[in-house]
Amino acid sequence: MTLKALIFDVDGTLADTEAAHLAAFNESFQSMGIPWMWDVPTYKGLLMVSGGKERMRHYWASSDENAAAIASESLSATIETLHRLKTAAYERLVAEGFVTMRPGILPLIEEAIAAGLALGIATTTSAANVSALLSKAIGPEWRAQFQAVEDASTAPSKKPHPQAYQQVLQCLMVEGRDCMAFEDSENGLRAASAAGIPTIVTPNAFTSDHDFTGATKCFPHLGEVHLVDIEALHTKIFD
């Protein structure tokens, strides 16, 4: 079986983004005068809920005290405003260099392009977040390097639903077994697996305690992993 494409998650996989997202959420709460302040343990738990708006709604519903901070009749509008403010704060943090790409990611992308492999992105984050990150890391021409990009705007069914991966496969015109996915979270692994894609997991400080049963391989990062290693793992699966 020949490897034809690599498909990447974004947050926590391409880059260490979660600390910046957490800071941006808290900044948006403060700017709206909402008495929420998420700490790291709280945010780690909330990462089991995919999507920023969904995370806020889940947190709002988790206790009477949280519900009292935002009236139910204004919840949807408030969350929309909070998410807009949070996205702007995150983009600023990325521009200021607060977010770094994870080890080995950019060299692996370069190797894949040189080898003629297709590249895809399957994420539940917003298109604005993807563009902010990759424009900073790769440059304004980043989009030309990825033949398929599915994000929250095009794949509204969030992980662990496989919609984003299924749509990337359709766009690339490949089968799941032709690809390798890269994820950092349990929901991401479940989404890729449901689409029939072998998956390499690189956990981070926010997802290290997730259940990665079924992953093709777990690495702490890709700093010492090259395309030849990924091709060997892919071949081994289908021996």
- Which residues are catalytic, by number? 9, 11
Place of tokens 């139910």: 72
Place of tokens 């892919």: 234
Question: Quick check: 222 and 104 in contact, CB under 8 A?
Answer: yes
Count the neighbouring beta carbons within 10 Å of the beta carbon of residue 33. Answer: 7
Supply the DSSP string of 156-222, one letter for each residue. Answer: -S-TTS-HHHHHHHHHHT--GGGEEEEESSHHHHHHHHHTT--EEE---TTTTTS--TT-SEE-S-S
Count the neighbouring beta carbons within 10 Å of the beta carbon of residue 11. Answer: 27
Question: Quick check: 202 and 16 in contact, CB under 8 A?
Answer: no
- Would you state the torsion angle of the CA atoms of residues 7, 11, 13, 15, taken in this order, to the nearest 10 degrees? 120
